[in-house]
Amino acid sequence: MGVAGDGNAFFRLADSWDLFKTTAMIKSHARHLIFSLLISLGVSVPALAQIAGGMTETTNTNLGGNNFIVGTVFWPSGRPINVRMAIKLASMTKGDIMANTDDNGQFIFSKVGAGNYFIVIDGEQDFEPLAQAVDISTSRNPVPQTYNVSVRLRDKTKSGMKPAVIDQASLGIPKRASEFFKKAGALSAAGDHKGAVEQLEHAIAEYPGFFDAYNELGVQYMQLNDLAKADAALQSALKIKANGFEPLVNRGITLFRLKRYPDAETSLRAAIAAKEQSAVAHYYLGRTQIGLEKYDAAETELNQAIKIGGDAMKEGHRMLANLFIQKGDDRNAVKELEIYLKLAPGAPDAANLRKVINQLKTPGPASPKPRPL
């Protein structure tokens, strides 16, 4: 079962521009700097309408080479994960590099030198720790080499119990419906979301009570940015299982993106009731409460998301910085941005965010409180 991400989760250049706009409302002396930034960024600022999951994040390892390790993390079912997950590039001789996947399970390590490495995932409560070897040749080929890796998670089994083998047939799902569902997963992994939608619709036609297929259909429509159809599919899943965590959190994200904040808050609170330790649900509830101008509640939820997700929830620090700017709390905004840049030193807009920090540290005349972004 998948939990979808949201294009806004990446923030990047678009969000840094929003930070500049907000800061400009607080500090009028920064107007010239912002105008210059607009020229440098160009008129079309990317990412706000884009679904998270493109290969937008690269972790620069600075390990003395020009090679790339590119990979995808998959659920035990074989589908790419739909949430951010902490991941580590480990080496016996060069130390560990911490990073995280994007919302489609993809990751890139760049500037990797020759040597023996391991892709490690060992902080997930529901899955077995794993380490996958990656051997990079000692060849002095000046052309960068790309090493592709697929990492498949394994469910953690309880002590003293053998892992149960549960297939969809044992749940009463017809074979043809199951086959359509599997084809949809393969098409989604290949980036063909329209094809995945078609297969999922076939699966549902074969078996109208297919809970997972409705949830996955919602995820695919989210990927296609067809939020109305995503909402309809997720509501169908919830008619089958009213307390299903995945469709609840996915619908909450969908409603957030539609700016239907009261409805999003209701769905996300229900998701947290189903799975209290969900960093993603708390994070989006925090963002929703910013939209509702419930700033204190938003701060509480974003801090809870960071507490649960740890360093992998670095975007929580960025959103807290945004929140503090809106509240006129420059000191804490600077603190959160500095934490974010420490966790994401290779962020594409890192230089722009450092300008925001300098801007916030520079005293200026007071301005009216800005509205939420």
The least confident of 59-68, 204-213, 297-306 is 59-68
**CATH class, 224-361 region:** mainly alpha
Predicted TM-score (pTM) of this structure = 0.60
Query: Band of the pLDDT at 80, cuts 50, 70, 90?
Result: confident
Which pLDDT value is given to residue 262?
96
Does residue 72 register a pLDDT over 70?
Answer: yes
CATH number of 59-152: 2.60.40.10
The predicted model gives 113-126 an average pLDDT of 81
Does residue 8 register a pLDDT over 90?
Answer: no
The predicted model gives 225-232 an average pLDDT of 94
pLDDT digits (tens, 9 = 90+) for 279-335: 889 999 999 999 999 999 999 999 999 998 888 888 899 999 989 988 889 999 999
Phi-psi region of 95 (alpha: psi -120 to 50; beta: other; left: phi over 0): left
Instruction: Tell me the one-letter amino acid at 294.
Output: K
Which pLDDT value is given to residue 122?
80
The CA angle 193-198-201, to the nearest 5 degrees, is 120
Of 174, 108, 183, 179, nearest in space to 147 by CA: 108
The predicted model gives 172-191 an average pLDDT of 86
Does residue 39 register a pLDDT over 60?
Answer: no
Q: Are 118 and 73 in contact (CB under 8 A)?
A: no
In DSSP terms, which residues pair with 130 in a beta bridge?
121
Does residue 74 register a pLDDT over 50?
Answer: yes
Which pLDDT value is given to residue 142?
63
d(CA 241, CA 245) in angstroms, rounded, equals 9
Which pLDDT value is given to residue 102?
83
The predicted model gives 144-152 an average pLDDT of 82
More confident residue, 196 or 38: 196
The least confident of 42-51, 170-179, 264-273, 331-340 is 42-51
Range picked from 17-21, 98-102, 142-146, 224-228 for highest mean pLDDT: 224-228
Domain ranges of the chain: 59-152, 224-361
